[in-house]
Amino acid sequence: MDLVAWNENLKREDDLLIGELNLSFLGVTTKVEVCFIQKGSSPSPIQLETLNGYLNNSEAIHSVVAEAIYAEYRASLFSYRRAVGSWGENPDELAPVISDIRELAPLLIYQTLFIQDSEGPGEFGMGFWSKWEQEHGLGVKFVGWELGQLDENSIHYQ
């Protein structure tokens, strides 16, 4: 991928530089908004190093993320199902019982990749829309290339 040409087409929105990439998560390719938290006119060298590292290791990163989401989903499944039912919705549609990590694919949409301007590479967040948590979504935060936190969508850009 030619990041130089891609960087030239980033759009400014407040303190963000925004571009799009087609990225695959759990076998589903979507257009993901890539946001650099940056007041300058281009991403910092550390942000570009993080993006390159992410793109070069996305398969391994996505595997770690999928496993964490799957574990959290399975651990909280009956709470999700109870909540969905209390909203008058069908739990089998929004929070189905699943037994394989690949069954998460129709329940999630990978939407955003936030790359902070940090002191070192590997700090970024991934944001997802999820069927079972439509109001708050799901966010994953990495620090130093390690999974740091899995929580509501807002965690991925903090």
The verdict on residue 150 lying in a domain is yes
The verdict on residue 3 lying in a domain is no
The verdict on residue 74 lying in a domain is yes
pLDDT < 70: residue spans in the chain:
1, 153-158
Token duo for residue 133: 């948590």
The verdict on residue 107 lying in a domain is yes
The verdict on residue 16 lying in a domain is no
The verdict on residue 126 lying in a domain is yes
Quote the CA–CA distance of 11 and 7 in Å, as a whole number. 9
Burial of residue 75 (CB within 10 Å: 0-12, 13-18, 19+) is exposed
The verdict on residue 121 lying in a domain is yes
Q: Which pLDDT score, from 0 to 100, does residue 1 have?
A: 65
Q: Which pLDDT score, from 0 to 100, does residue 153 have?
A: 62
The verdict on residue 21 lying in a domain is no
Q: How many domains does the chain have?
A: 1
Q: Which of 80, 81, 69, 61 is nearest to 109 (CA)?
A: 69
| 0.75 surpassed by pTM | yes
Residue range(s) defining the domain that contains residue 138: 28-157
